[in-house]
Amino acid sequence: MGAEEELLLVDPVSRAVSAQADAVVAEAAGELGARVGPELTRYQVEVRTEPHTSLAEFAEQVRSTRQAVVRAAARHGLRVISSGSPILGQVFPPPLTAGPRYTLSAETFGALDDEQCACACHIHVGVPDLATALQISNRLRPWLPALIALTGNSPFWAGRDTGYASWRTTTWGRWPVAGPPPFFESPSHFEDLVAGFIATGSVMDRGGLYWDIRPSHHVPTLEFRVADAMATPGETVLLAGLIRAMAASALQATTAGDPVLRPGPEVLRAACWRAARDGLAGQSIDLATGLLSPAVDQVDRLLSWVQPALHGHGDTEVVNTLWARLRLAGNGAERQRAAYRRRFRLTDVVDHLISTTDASD
């Protein structure tokens, strides 16, 4: 497993996002090498872990990588926050990173790029082939609302409360090929869809497949793109351990011939919307029944399902402890709003995120 994390740079005085990613990336590369790079906007820095089989070693690299970016930013008078959305600053339109791909994106998709100063946490799980990746994706589609509720960390956007726990989920869903993936009948079904999207200009290339779960186009992994940038290193560790266990559980269910829950795309889309709005503190659509139930109960059911896989990886104590902590404290969106309610100042939200981004959990 491995992770890609997108982080935001902010000015420590105004707390607005700062367009100095080029300088910070160059500074951090002295320590991180190719594991740090630019993103779509010059407010963002992307960091990557190496592949890991040990969750403990993965956790250490997540923390040390974030700390390296924090140090690099500080040398340029900046701070770093891990939030799915920018809290303060001029973000319409954002300053785009120079380069042919980003230029082509702006020419192709126009104003869609104007609201894409959004940060995610992408978890990769190693898979042997495309067929296996698609089998896992098919079985895990119904759990996407639970993951959205768990990881919501973008309630504020450019100076206002959006009313959502994960506004990033909503804005990202505007892309032509985004949101919950289809149910794939076979590898050839997948390849035919992708070829059609490229031929019609719906995506520029395979890198433009923005589904919440997708086979990676450049490494032998299944990539989970559903989560907002996680507020703390520990939450990224929780997400990675959980997703690896989900993938292993899906493979076991396939081997056992268990039936596959196959919600219709319109129902799954509605469930993801509800999860993005309510987050962990509200209600979520149970795709097995079509009825509302507390989102936290759905995450509990997910954790119950993956316990054998967690045990097999030696991750039971770590993941269950991190989940218990998050369940008690609330997800990132709840904690952002709690920081705001103390004095009703968005600068306090940014300060809260500065303090948690590289925290030792």
d(CA 132, CA 117): 33
Residue 112's pLDDT is what?
A: 86
One-character DSSP codes across 279-315: GGGSEEEETTTTEEEEHHHHHHHHHHHHHHHHHHHT-
How far is Cα 299 from Cα 353, in angstroms, rounded to an integer? 24
Judged by average pLDDT, the poorest of 106-110, 121-125, 175-179, 242-246 is: 106-110
What kind and span of H or E run contains 16? none
pLDDT of residue 348: 98
Helix extents (H) in 209-294: 233-256, 265-278
Reduced to 3 states (helix: H, G, I; strand: E, B; else coil), residue 128 is: coil
What was the pLDDT predicted at 327?
A: 97
Q: What distances in angstroms separate CA 27 from CA 5, 31, 177, 218, one per listed residue?
A: 17, 8, 34, 26
Is the overall model pTM greater than 0.75, yes or no? yes
Measured distance CA(149)–CA(278) in Å, rounded: 7
Task: Identify residue 205 by its one-letter amino acid code.
Answer: D
Task: List phi, psi (to 5°) of 349.
Answer: -65, -45
Question: Which pLDDT band holds residue 361 (cuts at 50, 70, 90)?
Answer: low
Q: Name the more confident of 105 and 65.
A: 65
pLDDT in tens, 34-91: 999 999 899 999 999 999 999 999 999 999 999 999 999 999 999 999 999 999 998 8
What's the angle, vertex CA 327, arms to CA 325 and CA 331, rounded to 5?
95
C-alpha distance from residue 170 to each of 47, 65, 112, 275 (Å): 23, 28, 12, 10
- How far apart CA 35 and CA 47 sit, in angstroms, is 6
- Write out the residue range of the structural domain in which residue 12 sits: 2-357
Cα–Cα nearest to 146, from 305, 328, 40, 300: 300
The answer, yes or no, to whether the previous bond of 93 is cis (omega within 30 of 0) is: yes
The vertex-19 CA angle with 16 and 21, nearest 5°, equals 120
Give the strand pairing for 44-48 and 36-38.
antiparallel
**Would you tell me how many other CB atoms lie within 10 Å of the CB of residue 360?**
8
- The torsion of the CA quartet 115, 194, 52, 47, rounded to 10 degrees, works out to -20
159 phi/psi in degrees, rounded to 5: 95, 5
Contacts of 61 (CB under 8 A, 6+ apart): 49, 50, 52
Query: How many structural domains does the chain have?
Result: 1
DSSP state of 142: G
Three-state secondary-structure class, residue 152: coil
- With 0-12 / 13-18 / 19 or more C-beta atoms within 10 angstroms meaning exposed / middle / buried, residue 77 is exposed
Contact 2, 50 (CB under 8 A): yes
Cβ(224)–Cβ(126) below 8 Å: no
In this structure, what DSSP letter does residue 155 have?
Answer: -
Return the higher-pLDDT residue of 289 and 54: 54
Tell me: the pLDDT tens digits for 163-184? 999 999 999 999 999 999 999 9
CATH number, residue 151: 3.30.590.20
State pLDDT tens for residues 199-216: 999 999 999 999 999 999
In whole angstroms, how far apart are CA 120 and each of 24, 169, 182, 191, 228? 19, 9, 21, 26, 4
Mean pLDDT taken over the chain: 96
